Amino acid sequence: MTTKTATRAGEPEVLELDRVTIRFAGDSGDGMQLTGSQFTRTAAVYGNDISTLPDYPAEIRAPAGSLPGVSGFQLSFSSSPIHTPGDQPDVLVAMNPAALKTNVGDLPAGAALIVNEDAFNAANLSKAGYATNPLTDGSLKSYTLFEIPISTLNARALEGLDMTSKQVDLTKNFFALGLMFWLYERSMEPTLRWIEDKFSKRPVIVEANRRALKAGYAFGETTEIFHTHYRVAPAKLAPGRYRNITGNEASALGFVAASKLAGRPLFYGSYPITPASDILHQLSGYKDFGVKTFQAEDEIAAIGAAIGASYGGALGLTATSGPGIALKSEAMGLAVMVELPLVVADVQRAGPSTGMPTKTEQADLLQVLFGRNGDSPMPVVAPATPADCFDVAIEAWRIALKYMTPVVYLSDAFLATGSEPWRIPNVADLPRIDVENATDRSTFHPYARDPQTLARPWAVPGTPGLEHRIGGLEKSDIGGNVSYDPDNHHRMTMLRAEKVAGIANDIPEAEPYGVERGELLIVGWGSTYGAIRSAVERLLAEGQSVAHVHLRHLNPLPRNLGDLLGRYRTVLVPEINLGQLLMVLRAKYLVDAIGYDKVRGKPFRISEIHERAEQILAGR
Amino acid sequence: MTDTIAAQTPRQPGQPLALTRKDFVSDQEVRWCPGCGDYSILAQTQKVMPDFGYPREKIVFISGIGCSGRLPYYMNTFGFHSIHGRAPTLATGLKAARPDLMVWVITGDGDALSIGGNHVLHAMRRNVDIKLIMFNNRIYGLTKGQASPTSEIGKRTKSTPEGTIDRPIMPLSVALAAEATFVARSVDTHTEHLQGTLERAGFHHGSAFVEVLQNCNIFNDGAYRDFTDREVRDDRMLVLEHGQPMIFGKERDKGIRLRGLHPEVVQLGHGVTEADLLVHDEGAEDPHLAFMLSRMWWPDYPVPVGVLRNVARPTHDELLTGQVEAVRAQRGEGDLAKLLDSGETWTVS
Ligand code: SF4
C-alpha cells in the first residue's frame, strides 16, 4: 500500500507505506547490531509493529572486510500487524563490498541499495572476491543504487574533535542511521538520549556520535539524491502499554514471574553458550527478586546444581543450546527418575556438533523428546514468537510444579535474538501457580501420587519426619526404596509415562486458524509461527481452503490434534530441520503428512511457505 | 507471598539434640561385601552425626556412583544418590538454595577424581560449604575391578592385564591445588582417628575434603596394609597435630625435617632434636607445607594422616546470599509489575 502525500515545491515527496524492511549490513566491527537495534527502538516507540532478525557471525572479530566477518540486522516495521522480519529487504545499507556481496542476493529488483562508496577500494573489493567494482560494472542495475561517501562525509563532520582517524571511522554507523532516520521521518531524539546515557563518561564520544547521527540526517535533508522519503504510520495494535522485547529477555522475565507466582526463589545454573548466554546475563541482574545465579564449571554442573536447588525447594532452572543438552542428558534422566520440578531451556542453534552457533534451527526436537537412556518422558513446550517466550516460560514452570517433572523449554536463536513489541501484561492476569510441600509425616511416602496429576509429593530437606532417600536407581512404587522387582519397574515406567501423557488434559486444544476443515492444514511449532501465519493469511485472502495450527505443547500434544489432522486433505509440516515433528505426527497419528524442510540457519520466508502451499493446493 | 523455603535454623555447634548414633541408622539393609572398609566409615559417620547439633531433617547426604554411593541409603537423614561424578554439583545447588542445611558429599576415587574431577575442583575453589568424604580404595569396585585414577602405576587389573601405564594422582594434592579450605586424611580401620577427622570436617565452615584410605577386600585387598596394619602403622604413618613437631614411630623417635625444599626423615638423637623438626601448621595461609605433606607416601616417607590444611574463608552460599541481600537492601524487594513495565515503553490507546 503506497499513498503519495502532497509536498511543498522543492521538498522531496512523502510516500505512505504500510511496511518497510531494512537490512543494515557491514563488518562485524561496524556496529550494525547497534544501528539496527537503535532503529528498532525508535520505530517501536513511535508505535509501529516491528519484527527483527539479527544475523551475526560467531567470531567476535573475523578479519575486517572479509565475507565471514559480515554482520547484519534486518528489521521490518509496519502500520499493520506483522509476524515476521520481512522476506526481502526494501532497503539494504551495505557498509563495505563484503556486506554487499553476502546480502545483495536477498534483494528484490527495484530495492534501494545504499552503499558506503568509500569502502569500495581495491583492497576491500578483493577481500570480498569482486574482480570488478560492482558499483561501476553495471551488475547492480536492477536496484536503485545510492553511492554515498559515508566515511568521508562523516570524517568531515567530526573534524576538530580530539580523536584518532580510527575512532572517527567507528562512528560512521551513526551517520548511516541518521540518514535512515531522515529517509523514514524518524526522530533522532531516542538515539541522542541513548548516546548521552551510554557514553556519559566520555564527552568526546558523545559529541562524535551526535555529530555523526546529525550529519547523516542533514545529508538526507540537504542533498537531492533522495527524491522521496517515506512514512510508515503507527500500527493499530491492541490498546495497552508496550515495550520492545527479544525472546531471551522475555524468557528471563517469564522465569522470574513464575518464581514470584509460585512464591519460590529462582535458582539459575548455567554455562555460557551462544545463543542462551543473555538469559544468564539478564537473570544475574534480578537479585532483588531473590534470583540466585550460578555460572557453573560445565553444562553438567549447571543442571546438577539446578536439580540440587529444586530438591531444596527452589525453582531450579538451567538453559543452554543443543550441544549443552547433549551434555545434560544424563542429568535430565535423573530429574525424570527423581520426579523433581525443573526447567531445562534449550535455545536451539544450527547443529550437529558446534554447527553454526549464531544461526537458528529447530533440530533439537527429537533430542529433547527422546535423547535419553530408558523410557524417559519429559514435557516439552515451545514459544512461537519473542513475546510469547514470556507466557511459555511461565507455562513451563506451571507444568513442572504441578506435575513434579522436568520440562524442556524449546526456544531458538531466531526467537532469542529477534524482537517484537510486547503488550505488558497485568501481573494480576498472570496464571496462578500453586505449590505445596509435603509436611505430614503420618501420610508421607516418597512415591505416593496425587490421583489426579500422578505427581509425587515434594518433600524438601528440613521437614521433620520426612527423611527419605531418592536417586537414579529405580524405586518401589509408593514406598520409594530401591527396587529391582520386574513388575515394579514396569509399573513405574508406565506411571512416569502416564503422568506426562495426562498433561494433555490440562492444556488448551489446538485451534485451527482458517477453515475448520478442507484442503490443507499447515502445522508448525516454534519460531516458524510468523512465516506460516503470514502465508496462511495471504492464502485465505486469496480464497484458499487452508488453516494453520501452531503447537506450543510438543509433549504431550493437544488432545484434539489427531482429530484435527483428519479434517484436511493434506497436512504440511514446515520445519527448520529434516522433518522431526513430521516424524512424530506420522508415528503417533498414522497421518500421511508431508514435510517442508529448510536448514539454512535462517527463518522461513513467507513466500516460501506460500509457494509450497500453492503447489500443494494446485495438486502439484 | 514469601519465597523462603523453610525456617532457617542457625547452626548451633555444641548443642547436641540428645540424638544418638542409632537415630542416624536407617531401616535399609546394608549391602556392601562383608569385610569392606565402607562399614567402618558408615559407622563412624553415624557416630559423629549427633555432635553437630543439626536435627536429622536438616542433614543431607548426596552421593555419586560407586560402592560409596550407597551410603546415603543407610543414613536416616535426607539423602540423594545421584549420578556418576555429579554429587558435588547437586550439593552446590542445594547449599546455594538452602544455606540452613548441613550437606555431605559421599564419593569415591573414580567418582571424585575421574568422571567427576571437574566438579570437585570447582566445588573446592568456590568453598562450597560441603563435607566431601572420598573413599579411596584405588580400584573400581562396583564395576568389578578396573584401574582407578589412584591405582598405582603398573597395577594389573581386569582392565590393565599388563599393568596400568597411567600415573596415579594424589587426591590431597588435587584438593589443595583446588583451594580447598579443609584437607584431611584418615583410614577406615583407624576408627578413632577417623571419627575425630570426620568430626573436624563436620565442624569446618566451608569445603572440607577428607580422603579415607579404604580397603576393598574383594578387588584390591590390602592396598594399604604395608603401612596401616596395627604392627607397623606407628612407624610408617605420621599423625599430624597442629602446632606439634612432626614426630612418629612406635618409640616416637623419628621425625620430619626440611632439607632444602624436601622433607627428610630423621632419627632423633645424635645431635638431632625436636627443635630441628618441622612443626605442623594446618592454618598456614599458603599451602606449601600442606602440599609437601600431600606428596609424602610410603615407603619413601611415613604416610601423613590428620588435617593438612584448615583455613577460614567465606563460603559460596554466604557470598551468594550476601550479594542477593546487598542488592535487596539497595533496591528493595523486586516488584514484578515494575520490572515488566521497565525499559522503553509506550502506550497504545
Ligand atoms: S567391591 Fe570392594 S569397595 Fe565395593 S563393597 Fe565390595 S569390598 Fe567394598
- Secondary structure of chain B as H, E, C letters: CCCCCCCCCCCCCCCCCCCCHHHHECCCCCCCCCCCCHHHHHHHHHHHHHHHCCCHHHEEEEECCCHHHHHHHHECCEEEECCCCCHHHHHHHHHHHCCCCEEEEEEEHHHHHHHCHHHHHHHHHCCCCEEEEEEECCCECCCCCECCCCCCCCCCECCECCCCCCCCCCHHHHHHHCCCCEEEEEECCCHHHHHHHHHHHHHCCCCEEEEEECCECCCECCCCHHHHCCCCHHHHEEECCCCCECEECCCCCEEEEEECCEEEEEECECCECHHHCCECCCCCCCCHHHHHHHCCCCCCCCEEEEEEEECCCCCHHHHHHHHHHHHHHHHCCCCHHHHHCCCCEEEEC
User: How many residues are present in chain A?
Assistant: 620
- For A22, the 3-state DSSP assignment is strand
Question: Residue A4: which pLDDT band, with cuts at 50, 70 and 90?
Answer: very low
Between positions 234 and 273 of A, the ones with CB within 8 A of B are: 234, 237-244, 253, 256-257, 259-260, 263-265, 267, 269
Final residue of a structural domain among A429, A462, A483 = A429
Whether the predicted pLDDT of A64 surpasses 90: no
Q: How do beta strands A380-381 and A406-412 pair? A: parallel
The reply to whether A361 and A318 lie within a common domain is: yes
The reply to whether A271 and A356 lie within a common domain is: yes
The reply to whether B260 and B173 lie within a common domain is: no
- For A447, the 3-state DSSP assignment is strand
* Sign of the CA dihedral running B23, B29, B31, B32: positive
Please judge whether A297 and B118 are an interchain contact, meaning their C-beta atoms are less than 8 angstroms apart.
yes
* pLDDT score recorded for residue A6: 41
- Region A226-255: mean pLDDT is 92
Question: In total, how many domains does chain B have?
Answer: 2
Contacts of B144 (CB under 8 A, 6+ apart): B158, B219
Could you tell me if A378 and A408 are in contact, meaning their C-beta atoms sit under 8 angstroms apart? yes
To 10 degrees, the CA torsion angle through B117, A368, A248, A318?
-30
The reply to whether B41 and B136 lie within a common domain is: yes
The reply to whether B142 and B190 lie within a common domain is: yes
Between positions 446 and 485 of A, the ones with CB within 8 A of B are: 460-473, 481-482
C-alpha A587 to ligand 1 mean position (Å): 46
Residue with cell 545421584: B82
Asked whether residue B239 is domain-assigned, the answer is yes
The reply to whether B206 and B304 lie within a common domain is: yes
Asked whether residue A237 is domain-assigned, the answer is no
The reply to whether B229 and B264 lie within a common domain is: no
The reply to whether B164 and B251 lie within a common domain is: no
The reply to whether A385 and A441 lie within a common domain is: no
* pLDDT score recorded for residue B15: 53
The reply to whether B23 and B133 lie within a common domain is: yes
Whether the predicted pLDDT of A360 surpasses 50: yes
The reply to whether B267 and B161 lie within a common domain is: no
In chain B, which residue's Cα lies nearest the Cα of A269? B93
Which domain range does residue A293 map to? Answer: 243-429
Query: Checking phi first, is residue A374 left (phi over 0); if not, alpha (psi -120 to 50) or beta?
Result: left
Asked whether residue A361 is domain-assigned, the answer is yes
The reply to whether B43 and B91 lie within a common domain is: yes
Question: Residue A27: which pLDDT band, with cuts at 50, 70 and 90?
Answer: very high
The reply to whether B61 and B166 lie within a common domain is: yes
The reply to whether A265 and A182 lie within a common domain is: no
pLDDT digits (tens, 9 = 90+) for A384-434: 999 999 999 999 999 999 999 999 999 999 999 999 999 999 999 999 999
Final residue of a structural domain among A181, A209, A232 = A232
The reply to whether A500 and A526 lie within a common domain is: no
CA distance A54 to A76: 12
The reply to whether A500 and A598 lie within a common domain is: no
Domain of A610, CATH number, reads: 3.40.50.920
Query: Residues with Cβ within 6 A of ligand 1?
Result: B 32-33, 36, 38, 67, 137, 141, 216-219
| Count of pairs with CB atoms under 8 A, one residue in A, one in B | 227
Domain of A262, CATH number, reads: 3.40.50.970
Asked whether residue B151 is domain-assigned, the answer is yes
Could you tell me if A128 and A97 are in contact, meaning their C-beta atoms sit under 8 angstroms apart? yes
In chain A, which residue's Cα lies nearest the Cα of B332? A288
Which domain range does residue B258 map to? Answer: 245-279
CA distances from A133 to A104, A139, A140, A559 (A): 14, 9, 10, 59
DSSP state of A93: E
Asked whether residue B102 is domain-assigned, the answer is yes
Instruction: Provide the edge-to-edge strand list for the sheet that holds B208-213.
Output: A469-471, B78-81, B59-63, B102-108, B130-136, B208-213, B182-187, B303-310, B237-239
Question: In total, how many domains does chain A have?
Answer: 4
Please judge whether B334 and A307 are an interchain contact, meaning their C-beta atoms are less than 8 angstroms apart.
no
Grid coordinates given for B236: 610408617
CA distance A539 to A521: 12
Alpha helices in A468-565 (DSSP H): 486-501, 529-541, 561-565
Asked whether residue B344 is domain-assigned, the answer is no
The reply to whether A332 and A188 lie within a common domain is: no
The reply to whether A214 and A342 lie within a common domain is: no
Grid coordinates given for B182: 579443609
Nearest alpha carbon, ligand 1 atom 2 = B216
Question: Residue A233: which pLDDT band, with cuts at 50, 70 and 90?
Answer: very high
Average pLDDT for chain A: 95
CA distance A316 to B305: 39
Asked whether residue B24 is domain-assigned, the answer is yes
Instruction: Provide the edge-to-edge strand list for the sheet that holds A568-575.
Output: A513-514, A546-551, A518-525, A568-575, A594-597
- Region A128-138: mean pLDDT is 95
Asked whether residue A531 is domain-assigned, the answer is yes
The reply to whether B261 and B166 lie within a common domain is: no
Final residue of a structural domain among A447, A480, A506 = A506
- Regarding pTM above 0.90, the answer is yes
- Region A142-160: mean pLDDT is 95
CA distance A500 to A504: 8
* pLDDT score recorded for residue A55: 87
* Sign of the CA dihedral running A277, A282, A285, A287: negative
CA distances from A533 to A384, A504, A538 (A): 11, 24, 9
- Region A563-592: mean pLDDT is 98
* pLDDT score recorded for residue A620: 74
Grid coordinates given for B18: 540428645
CA distance B174 to B170: 6
Residue B281, Cβ neighbours under 10 Å: how many? 15
Whether the predicted pLDDT of A209 surpasses 50: yes
Asked whether residue A238 is domain-assigned, the answer is no
* Sign of the CA dihedral running B268, B273, B278, B283: positive
**Interface predicted TM-score of the whole assembly (ipTM), two decimals:** 0.95
Please judge whether A470 and B324 are an interchain contact, meaning their C-beta atoms are less than 8 angstroms apart.
no
In chain B, which residue's Cα lies nearest the Cα of A318? B93
Which stretches of chain B drop beneath a pLDDT of 50? 1-4, 6-13
Please judge whether A263 and B5 are an interchain contact, meaning their C-beta atoms are less than 8 angstroms apart.
no
Asked whether residue B336 is domain-assigned, the answer is no
Q: Is B333 at the interface with chain A, CB within 8 A?
A: yes
The reply to whether A418 and A459 lie within a common domain is: no
The reply to whether A207 and A159 lie within a common domain is: yes
Grid coordinates given for A209: 556520535
Query: Checking phi first, is residue A262 left (phi over 0); if not, alpha (psi -120 to 50) or beta?
Result: alpha
Asked whether residue B343 is domain-assigned, the answer is no
Domain of B97, CATH number, reads: 3.40.50.970
Helix axes B191-203, B38-48, angle to 10 degrees: 50
The reply to whether A389 and A307 lie within a common domain is: yes
Please judge whether B94 and A308 are an interchain contact, meaning their C-beta atoms are less than 8 angstroms apart.
yes
CA distances from A114 to A72, A135, A142, A502 (A): 14, 11, 14, 56
Asked whether residue A136 is domain-assigned, the answer is yes
Could you tell me if B77 and A462 are in contact, meaning their C-beta atoms sit under 8 angstroms apart? no
* pLDDT score recorded for residue A506: 98
The reply to whether A18 and A162 lie within a common domain is: yes
* pLDDT score recorded for residue B17: 64
Q: Is A305 at the interface with chain B, CB within 8 A?
A: yes
- Percentage of chain A surpassing pLDDT 70? 98
CB-neighbour burial class of residue A210 (10 A; exposed 0-12, middle 13-18, buried 19+):
buried
Asked whether residue B316 is domain-assigned, the answer is yes
* pLDDT score recorded for residue B161: 95
CA distance A228 to A112: 12
The reply to whether B208 and B192 lie within a common domain is: yes
Whether the predicted pLDDT of A10 surpasses 70: no
Whether the predicted pLDDT of A274 surpasses 90: yes
